[in-house]
Amino acid sequence: MAINVLLLGGGGREHALAWGISRSNSLNKLFIVPGNPGTESLGENVELNTHDFDALWDFIQDKDIELTVVGPEQPLVDGIADFLTSRNHAVFGPRKQAAMLEGSKEFAKDFMDRHGIPTAAYKVFDQSEFNEAEEYIRSSGKYPVVLKADGLAGGKGVLIPETEQQAIDALQELNDGDLSNAASRLVIEEFMEGEEASVFAICDGDTYQVIGNAQDHKRIGEGDTGLNTGGMGAYSPAPVVTPELLECVEKDIIKPTIDGMKEEGYPYQGILYVGLMITEEGPKVVEYNCRFGDPECQVIIPSMKSDLLDTILACTKGRLSKTAIEFDQKYRCTVVMVSGGYPQKYEKEKEITGLDKLEGNTFFHAGTKREGQKILTNGGRVLNIIGEGESLQQAIDQAYDRVGKINFEKAYYRRDIGAKGLKHFS
């Protein structure tokens, strides 16, 4: 029987999820809160506040919605899954305590320590312990060093100073700057050498299946330079994640995480995003996220041959072990086009042209809005342009060919997305 579904979120990740869900024969109608110009052709965009749980519940009842899919992390960390499941409503996404794997870096590090999951050595400081944190950094004398705001920071709460003075300045920034709320507690980690990659598992609280891997590009500048962002592009699969490495990740990281959550009384249901550093000692966890990555979601969802909605429903009913998930064997690359000045100050409401030259799932909206017949920029990360191919090079070439068809004032994008992956084939 076809059902009504509510999808929470309005970015590129949610456009990709909406596209995937809209293809299902199990869908009657899709509602997206708040959605974006890309999702309006896939369902009905609804102007509601994703943080107003009571208003969402009223809407769910009014529209006879049987399933809610949560895209972004904040509602999960705030407890949307607990709120709705307590009302016997099916939700795809972990409950509040399980979502603390992303919501608190300290919780995640302590969890990994308890369960023997490989990660970087660390120490935690309260914001009032600025002097102690400074002394700890000075006494270690090891640089670079990693400073992480404990709470959610939109992908921008990690600083990697390379000298003692930069480290002290970074401490001051976390103590007094825009990230001070997220950094009420601070995690200081050893710097791990290696190549980063992300592995995604879909979980039903008891079992899991790996549904893809990718490599994100966090820094604003080419060659991984400049400030951290929410993500400037990604490609999948990442050749650094070999079958042998993936077997190790499952055995030493994913399974102990799922088992550990269940053992501690917080069965994990939803997407588990494991950010990895591939070190000489093997893969280690950089961070967990309790939802799909953005922009990694945009290159993984299009690769699914299986019915996304049916897979999600299987998770909410504890039937994942009986569900086969199939993928095509193509490479995909997404290039994120951003507003000039991002991730710092930038202007909005710049008209975007050229979207009519692209087809279907070759691009996903992120920070955009509609004004009459025009599509305007409405955020830092504006569009995700997708390329695919039988090889990574083909996927990259196609993505940049499509990027060349899009224009808006002061548009910026990195020109080296996927280059790290190509090195594995040379």
Q: Identify the CATH assignment for 194-322 out of 3.30.470.20, 3.40.50.12160, 3.10.620.30, 3.30.420.610.
A: 3.30.470.20
Q: Are 180 and 127 in contact (CB under 8 A)?
A: yes
Query: What's the fold here for domain 3-78?
Result: Rossmann fold (3.40.50)
CATH number of 121-190: 3.30.1490.20
Q: Are 84 and 298 in contact (CB under 8 A)?
A: no
CATH architecture of 331-425: Alpha-Beta Complex (3.90)
pLDDT of 180 = 66
Domain boundaries, the chain: 3-78, 121-190, 194-322, 331-425
- 188-213 burial, b at 16+ Cβ within 10 Å, e below that, comes to bbeebebbbbbbbbbbbbebbbbbbb
pLDDT tens, 60-90? 999 999 999 999 999 999 999 999 999 999 9
Assigned token pair, 25: 């024969």
Euclidean distance between CA atoms 63 and 46, whole angstroms: 12
Euclidean distance between CA atoms 410 and 370, whole angstroms: 19
H or E segment and range at residue 219: strand 219-221
Q: Would you call the peptide bond into 256 cis, given omega within 30 degrees of 0 as the criterion?
A: no
pLDDT tens, 26-66? 999 999 999 999 999 999 999 999 999 999 999 999 999 99
Question: What separation, in Å, do the N-terminal and C-terminal C-alpha atoms of the chain show?
Answer: 50
Euclidean distance between CA atoms 93 and 74, whole angstroms: 11
Rounded to 5°, angle at Cα 63 from 60 and 67: 50
Q: For residue 276, how many other CB atoms are within 10 A of its CB?
A: 28
Q: Quote the radius of gyration of the chain (alpha carbons, Å).
A: 21
Amino acid code (one letter) for 222: E
Euclidean distance between CA atoms 167 and 104, whole angstroms: 21
Assigned token pair, 423: 């090195």
Q: For residue 21, how many other CB atoms are within 10 A of its CB?
A: 23
pLDDT tens, 172-184? 887 776 766 766 8
Tens-binned pLDDT, residue by residue, of the chain (426 aa): 899 999 999 999 999 999 999 999 999 999 999 999 999 999 999 999 999 999 999 999 999 999 999 999 999 999 999 999 999 999 999 999 999 999 999 999 999 999 999 999 999 998 888 789 889 888 888 899 999 888 887 766 788 889 989 988 888 887 776 766 766 888 999 999 999 999 999 999 999 999 999 999 999 999 999 988 999 999 999 999 999 999 999 999 999 999 999 999 999 999 999 999 999 999 999 999 999 999 999 999 999 999 999 999 999 999 999 999 999 999 999 999 999 999 999 999 999 999 999 987 799 999 999 999 999 999 999 999 999 999 999 999 999 999 999 999 999 999 999 999 999 997
Q: Is 39 exposed, middle or buried (0-12, 13-18, 19+ CB in 10 A)?
A: buried
Q: Are 143 and 162 in contact (CB under 8 A)?
A: yes
